[in-house]
Structures are given as structure tokens and as C-alpha cells.
């Protein structure tokens, strides 16, 4: 489904190496070159009339500035390291770790920055204005409501709806301490990763920024304003809005339900009638040549196919598990093949992105370029599949090459106990197939 920052440094003497950055757009010049002041920062993206806040920290490592994007969630804190930082003239570009995106910033007075968040792999020009302030550590302002602080912890059964009226189910899981709130939403295609924010009376606000996606969730416990007198409103119901970056907007509702469950992720994508195997041959992005499930390397072994994209945060979460898992378990007779679907169809453009992803996450298994990142492309390249829905999707092949299980989406570390269930289910399936 659906990870910073910058500073002033003249006072501290932390210089940045000069180098030009790609297609960054133009901003008004300032007299002093940009600098990164070590310490905590609060950034704010301006999109759709909303402020999407995020936190980051600047540190000095081996004499160079490093930025960490910080997200809190049910399973502790996430720190995404951004060490590709270059400056040219009066602007500084911070590449967003695993993603083809960056923050391009300039100094805007003492302890302040302004600039843009740019996604280079987007089809159209994707630039979002942002500002940042050093020293600020609160994602959202202190609660101001005179109302009693509402209770939002626990499990919620949610429904999201887009502008066209299409809806999908979700499960909200939240933990609350005072007015501080963390959690996430799980959907049939993955989770919304680490969300954190604040409760203000009967209102909640949550956000996250991973470098590729910026999310803002807002909700009120009680009927929305203005009230529609033709409708009945159930008590203890959340009415909310969800903003995703520059353009995405949906509404959502949720009610408390400790038994809330999503459809079984092992049944959403399946093989077409009469099919038992996948037949493909895709170019190998590492060694050249091609990769097919019938290759001698995979015969007699259990094989896991990971349908992924370098642009996909949930794929990043799955890869963070699979990469070290493979190193520990490959001697048991298991192989993994990453099938990469990227934003661009050209091998010369997309293969380097997959190679960079493989290097960054220590993926010592094979990776192929399979096509462009949409469900139609997957359907054409893997025609034996029915109803492909999500990146990532994980497919288990037995020792004979037969498809035994197809798992849609991924519940990552931001989901707490659901993440452990994800890992347990994966290991149980592998153990079963190895014993056969």
C-alpha cells in the first residue's frame, strides 16, 4: 500500500559538498547558502489546503550531515536514514533514502527552511511546498479544546470512500496515552504504516511521511458539520478525512469493534481456473540474462515470488524482513525471486532503481524487471493470476513449481501484533512446504 529535512549551519560550521540536483524547480534566492543545523526539526508540507507535519533529525556522522525521518507507531519508532545530501548554490537536496524523491531546501531566516518535496518518478510534475523549523519536536500543536479528551484507543472497523463513491474496508488500531495517539489502518492491500498525532477533545489528527508518501488523517467523534437531518448517526462514530500528498483525498468513518477483521489476505488473488503454475521469463537486473521459475537454480526448492516496486513503502517493509530471513534460511532449500514493477517501462531506467533497492536492503536473492507498476501490467505479465490487487503480493511455489499460496498486501512493523502474525504465517507456510 499504501519515509527528512534541513538546516542552517553557519553558526556551527557544518559545510555541505556542492553538487547539482535534478529538476528541482525554482525558488527565490537567499543571500546565504543552505545549511543543516544538527538537532530535531519539524517539517510541514502544504497540500490540498492542509498542513501535513513530519519530524526529522539532523546528525553529523563521519563529518557529514545525515538526516533521519522519524515516525512513531504501535511498534516503537522508525528512523529512516537519508545520507545522500548535496548542495549547489543556495539550495540543498536531500534524497529520500530508498525512494526516487527528495527535499530541496533553502535557508529562510534563522533556524528555518523552505522548499519543496519532489517525486522524480511521478508521471506529472510532483512538487509540494514545505517549511521546516529547527528545535520543534511536536508533530501537532498542544490540544486547545475545552472538551474532555476523547478516547480513541483500541480497534475500529472503518470504511474509506473516494470521490467516485468507491469504498473499501479498513481496520484502525490505535494506542492512546493522554492526548498522544499512535496507530495505523490496515487494508486488504497493506497498511498505512506508522501514524502518530494528537487528540484534541473529540478530534484526532494523525500523520506520517516516509519520503515517498505523506498522509494526514483527521476525524471527529460525533456527527460531522453540517449535520444531515436525513441521516441517523450512531453514537461513538468517527467521521474523518484522509489526505494523501498532493492530490489524494478520501472520507472515512469508523466505529469501535474489537473483533474487526479484514477479508483473508490469502484468498483475494488466486489462479485462474485450470492453472497451477506461473509461466514467465523476465530480465535479470543483477547478472543479465533472464529469470524463469523453471531455471535449474530453483528446481526442487521452495520458491517465494515477491511482487514489489522500489517506490512502494509496504514493499520496503516486507523486504526489511525477507532480506535477512533469506540469508538465514536459504541453506534449507528456499529461494526468493523479486519481481519488480517500476514507474517507467524502459529497462535502462527501471533496472538501476531495482539494483539500488537491492543494495540498500541487502537483498541477496534474484531480482527481475517485470513491467510497469499497475495492476493491468501485472495481469498481462502474469496472465495465470486472477484479481491482482496490491504491491506487495507474495506467491509461494512448492518444490514442484506449483503455486500453493498467494498472499495479498503486507502488514508491516507499524501494525504491532498484526506484523508478528504476518511473520508467523510466512514461516508456517515455508515450514510446511519444506517438509513435503
- Using the Cα atoms of residue 323, residue 329, residue 330 and residue 333 in order, give the sign of their dihedral: negative
Cβ(191)–Cβ(296) under 8 Å? Answer: no
* Structural domain span for residue 52: 39-134
Q: Which of 225, 256, 287 is the last residue in one of the domains?
A: 256
* Angstrom distance (rounded) from CA 420 to CA 60: 34
**351 preceded by a cis bond (ω within 30 of 0):** no
| Residue located via cell numbers 492453472 | 275
* Angstrom distance (rounded) from CA 405 to CA 82: 36
pLDDT, residue 228, reads 72
pLDDT, residue 18, reads 27
* Angstrom distance (rounded) from CA 172 to CA 154: 8
Q: Are residues 323 and 196 in the same domain?
A: no
pLDDT, residue 148, reads 86
Mind listing the pLDDT tens digit for each residue in 317-347? 999 999 999 999 999 999 999 999 999 999 9
For strands 334-342 and 302-308, give the pairing.
parallel
For strands 127-134 and 112-119, give the pairing.
antiparallel
* Angstrom distance (rounded) from CA 247 to CA 364: 36
Q: Are residues 311 and 251 in the same domain?
A: no
pLDDT, residue 75, reads 86
Q: Are residues 107 and 183 in the same domain?
A: no
pLDDT, residue 229, reads 65
pLDDT, residue 233, reads 72
Q: Are residues 420 and 276 in the same domain?
A: yes
Smallest Cα–Cα separation from 209: which of 65, 34, 41, 84? 41
- Cβ-based neighbour number of residue 334 at 10 Å: 17
Cβ(282)–Cβ(290) under 8 Å? Answer: yes
Cβ(144)–Cβ(57) under 8 Å? Answer: no
Residues of the chain with pLDDT under 70: 1-34, 229, 232
* Angstrom distance (rounded) from CA 156 to CA 217: 14
Q: Are residues 427 and 402 in the same domain?
A: yes
Q: What is the CATH number of the domain that holds 278?
A: 3.40.30.10
The answer to whether position 20 is within a domain reads no
Smallest Cα–Cα separation from 393: which of 210, 265, 264? 265
Mind listing the pLDDT tens digit for each residue in 263-298? 999 999 999 999 999 999 999 999 999 999 999 999
pLDDT, residue 251, reads 96
Q: Are residues 190 and 120 in the same domain?
A: no
Q: What is the CATH number of the domain that holds 97?
A: 2.40.128.120
Domain count, the chain: 3
pLDDT, residue 141, reads 87
Q: Which of 256, 291, 309 is the last residue in one of the domains?
A: 256
> pTM for this structure?
0.89
Amino acid at each position: 500500500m499504501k519515509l527528512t529535512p534541513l538546516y542552517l549551519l553557519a553558526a556551527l560550521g557544518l559545510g555541505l559538498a556542492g553538487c547539482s540536483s535534478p529538476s528541482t524547480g525554482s525558488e527565490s534566492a537567499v543571500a546565504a547558502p543552505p545549511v543543516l543545523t544538527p538537532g530535531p526539526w519539524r517539517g510541514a508540507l502544504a497540500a490540498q489546503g492542509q498542513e501535513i507535519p513530519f519530524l526529522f533529525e539532523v546528525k553529523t556522522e563521519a563529518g557529514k550531515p545525515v538526516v533521519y525521518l522519524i515516525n512513531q507507531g504501535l511498534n516503537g519508532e522508525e528512523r529512516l536514514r537519508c545520507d545522500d545530501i548535496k548542495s549547489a548554490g543556495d539550495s540543498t537536496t536531500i534524497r529520500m533514502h530508498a525512494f526516487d524523491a527528495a527535499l530541496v531546501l533553502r535557508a529562510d531566516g534563522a533556524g528555518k527552511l523552505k522548499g519543496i518535496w519532489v517525486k522524480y518518478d511521478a508521471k506529472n510534475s510532483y512538487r509540494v511546498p514545505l517549511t521546516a523549523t529547527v528545535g520543534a519536536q511536536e508533530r501537532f500543536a498542544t490540544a486547545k479544546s475545552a472538551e474532555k479528551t476523547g478516547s480513541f484507543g483500541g480497534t475500529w472497523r472503518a470504511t474509506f470512500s473516494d470521490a467516485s463513491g468507491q469504498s473499501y474496508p479498513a481496520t484502525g488500531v490505535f494506542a492512546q496515552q493522554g492526548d498522544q495517539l499512535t496507530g495505523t489502518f490496515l487494508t486488504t492491500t497493506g497498511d498505512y504504516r506508522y501514524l502518530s498525532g494528537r487528540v484534541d477533545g473529540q478530534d484526532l489528527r494523525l500523520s506520517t511521511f516516509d519520503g515517498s508518501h505523506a498522509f494526514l488523517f483527521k476525524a471527529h467523534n460525533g456527527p460531522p458539520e453540517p449535520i444531515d437531518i436525513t441521516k441517523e448517526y450512531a453514537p461513538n462514530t468517527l467521521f474523518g478525512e484522509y489526505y494523501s500528498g498532493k492530490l489524494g483525498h478520501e472520507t472515512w468513518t469508523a466505529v469501535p469493534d474489537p473483533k474487526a477483521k479484514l477479508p483473508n489476505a490469502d484468498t483475494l488473488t488466486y489462479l485462474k481456473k485450470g492453472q497451477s503454475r506461473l509461466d514467465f521469463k523476465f530480465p535479470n537486473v543483477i547478472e543479465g540474462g533472464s529469470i524463469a521459475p523453471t531455471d535449474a537454480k530453483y528446481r526442487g526448492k521452495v520458491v517465494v515470488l515477491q511482487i514489489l516496486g522500489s517506490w512502494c513503502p509496504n514493499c520496503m517493509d516486507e523486504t526489511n524482513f525477507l532480506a535477512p530471513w533469506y540469508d538465514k534460511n536459504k541453506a534449507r532449500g528456499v529461494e526468493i525471486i523479486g519481481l519488480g514493477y517500476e514507474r517507467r517501462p524502459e529497462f535502462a531506467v527501471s533496472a538501476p532503481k531495482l539494483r539500488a533497492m537491492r543494495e540498500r536492503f541487502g537483498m541477496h536473492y534474484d531480482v527481475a524487471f517485470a513491467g510497469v507498476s499497475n495492476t493491468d501490467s501485472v495481469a498481462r505479465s502474469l496472465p495465470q493470476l486472477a484479481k491482482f490487487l496490491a504491491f506487495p503480493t507474495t506467491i509461494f511455489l512448492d518444490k514442484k513449481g506449483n503455486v500453493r499460496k498467494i498472499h495479498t498486501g503486507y502488514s508491516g512493523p507499524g501494525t504491532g501484533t498484526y506484523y508478528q502474525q504476518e511473520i508467523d504465517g510466512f514461516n508456517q507456510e515455508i515450514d510446511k512446504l519444506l517438509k513435503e
